[in-house]
Structure 1
Amino acid sequence: MKTKLALAALALGAAHGAWAQPVVRPLVGMGFTFGGDTVARVVYSDGDSDKVRAGGLVAFTTGLEMAFSPLVSAQALIGYHVDGIAASNGDVKFDRYPAELLGHFRLTDTFRVGGGARYTAKARTRSSGAASGTVPSEDFKPAWGTVVEGEFTIGRNLGIKLRYVSEKFDSDTIPGAPKLKGNHGGIYFVGYFF
C-alpha cells in the first residue's frame, strides 16, 4: 500500500511539474469562412446578385497559446469576422467581434484536435447608399457558440486549421425577429511566434 501511495505521489509531482510551467506564445491568424443564414441579397444594375451571409467571409484573429505539455494546449483568442458587398452606389456589411477559449490535444506530431467556447459581441448589419433602402441596419445581442477544429502544424510556427462554429444571434433592434444562424465552416492560417 505504501508503495502505491509513493508511486501516486511521484506521478502527481511529475504531472504538477509538467503543468506548472506552461509555455506561452502569441499568435495571429486569418481565415476564410462559409455558411450561415443570408443576411442580405444584393442585386446589381446588370442583373447579377450576391449575398452577405452570417457565417462568411473573412476572419482575423490574435491571441495567446499556452502549452501545458507536449500533448495539451489552450488558446485564448479575440478577433474580427466580416462579410460584405461594396458597390459604387452603396454597400452592405455584417460584422462581429468573437472571443474564443479553446483546448487542444495533439494526436500526432503534425495534427491536433480541439474545441471550446466562442462569445461573439457587437454583431451588426450595416448598409449605405442604395442598399440602405432595402437592407436595414440591425444590432444583435451578444451570443455564445461552440467551436470544433482540427489543426495541421507545419514546423513550429505555422498551422492550418479546419473548423466548424455553431452560433445564433438574437436581434436587439427588431423585437420578435427570428434568430439569425451564423453556423459556418472555415479554413484558417495561423502564425505562432517564438
Structure 2
Amino acid sequence: MELTKIITTTTLLAGATLAHASNTHFGLQVGVASGGDTLGTVTYANHEQEDLDAGSGVFFGAYTLTPLNQNGLAMKVGIGYHSDDITASNGEASFFRFPIDALISQEGEKWQFGLGITYHLNPEYESSFTTHDLIKADDALGMIVEVNYKILGKRLFGPSLQLGVRYTGIEYKFHGVTKKFDGSNLAAMLSFTF
C-alpha cells in the first residue's frame, strides 16, 4: 500500500515536470555528510581508530530543477554517488551507494526549501583487511529535507550558486545481517544551477 502511494506520487510529479520541461534548469552538487550507525572500525598501526559510518562520506551528483508555477514552487530530481572509505597500509574499507532524489522545493530570491524522497541503489560495504568481504544491502527508500542559500544569483529559477544543508533519513538492510543500519545523516553541500 505504501509503495503504491510512493509510485503514484512520483508518477504525478514526473508528469508535472515533463509538462514544464521547456523551463527546466540543470545543476551540479557536491557535499560532505556525517552520521549513521558504524559499519566497521579500523585500528591503525599507531593504535588510533577510525569508524566507517553508514551515513558519512562525500557525494556528488546532477539534478534538474523544473518550475511548477510562477510563485517559486519547483520539482527537483537528481542522481548521484555517495561514498565513504578508510585506507590503511594493511587494507581498506568502503561503503557506497547511488541516490536518486525527488523533491518539491519552494524557491525565493535568496532561500530554497525542499522536501522529498531518496532511493539508494546498490548499497555495498567492502572490506579488505584480514579477508576480502563484499556485503550488499537492499535498495533503500528514505526522506530528505534541505535548505539552500543563494550566495550568487537571486532570480527565481535563474542561474545561482547555493550553499546548503540537507538531512537524510534512511536505513539499510544488509544481506545476511539481521540488524538494520541507520544511514541518516546531516550534510553540507554546494550546488550550482545553470
- After TM superposition, the score normalised by the length of structure 1 is 0.82
**Residue of structure 1 equivalent to 2:55:** 55
Bigger radius of gyration among the two: 1
The 8 Å contact of residues 20 and 67 in structure 2, kept in 1 or not, is answered as: no
SS at match of 1:47: coil
Conserved in 2, the CA contact under 8 Å of 1:22 and 1:67? Answer: no
In the alignment, which residue of structure 1 is the partner of 2:168?
165
- Alignment coverage as a number of residue pairs: 169
Quote the Cα distance in structure 2 between the aligned partners of 1:23 and 1:182. Answer: 34
The answer for the alignment partner of 1:146 in structure 2 is 143
Give the structure 1 partner of residue 188 of structure 2. Answer: 187
SS of residue paired to 1:137:
strand
Which blocks of at least 5 consecutive residues in structure 1 are unaligned? 1-18
For residue 112 of structure 1, what is the aligned residue in structure 2?
Answer: 112
Please tell me whether the aligned partners of residues 118 and 144 of structure 2 are also in contact (alpha carbons under 8 angstroms). yes
CA distance in 2, matches of 1:157, 1:142: 32
Gaps of 5+ in 2: 1-18, 154-158
Q: 1:53: how far off?
A: 0.6
Contact 2:20 2:66 (C-alpha < 8 Å) held by counterparts:
no
CA RMSD, 1 decimal: 1.7
Q: Which amino acid aligns with 2:170?
A: E
Deviations 1:102-136 (A, max 9, x none): 11112x420121110100011010112xx243x84
TM-score by length of 2: 0.82
Which letter does structure 1 place at the counterpart of 2:116? G
Counting only pairs closer than 5 Å after superposition, residues 94-113 of structure 1 correspond to structure 2 as 94-106=95-107, 108-113=108-113
Kindly indicate whether residue 75 of structure 2 is the aligned counterpart of residue 74 of structure 1.
yes
Structure 2: distance between partners of 1:22 and 1:70: 17
